[in-house]
């Protein structure tokens, strides 16, 4: 039981050391992740479409 309490106390102490980002940084990083995700999704969609059409052309 002592180990469990020690674990929680150490976890709390570590969380107090964390430097959390401010709201502006959080919003900017969230937008960046959303934009990069959208770009990758569109790219993969275009590649998938091209490969599907290419394979259909080859198999005809």
What domain range includes position 54? 21-60
Whether 60 has a pLDDT exceeding 90, the answer reads no
The alpha carbon dihedral of 47, 48, 51, 56 has a sign of negative
Q: What is the pLDDT of residues 5-54, one digit of tens each?
A: 999 999 999 999 999 999 999 999 999 999 999 999 999 999 999 999 99
Q: Let me know if residue 39 belongs to a domain.
A: yes
The alpha carbon dihedral of 14, 15, 21, 26 has a sign of positive
Q: Quote the pLDDT of residue 15.
A: 94
Taking alpha carbons only, the member of 50, 34, 22 closest to residue 58 is 50
Asked whether 21 and 29 are in contact (CB, 8 A), the reply is yes
Q: Quote the pLDDT of residue 36.
A: 98
Q: Let me know if residue 7 belongs to a domain.
A: no
Q: Let me know if residue 2 belongs to a domain.
A: no
Q: Quote the pLDDT of residue 7.
A: 96
Reported pTM = 0.67
Domain total of the chain: 1
């Amino acid at each position: 039981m002592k180990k469990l309490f020690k674990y929680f106390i150490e976890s709390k102490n570590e969380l107090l050391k964390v430097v959390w980002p401010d709201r502006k940084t959080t919003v900017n990083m969230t937008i960046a992740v959303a934009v990069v995700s959208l770009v990758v999704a569109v790219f993969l969609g275009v590649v998938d479409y091209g490969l599907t059409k290419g394979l259909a052309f080859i198999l005809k």
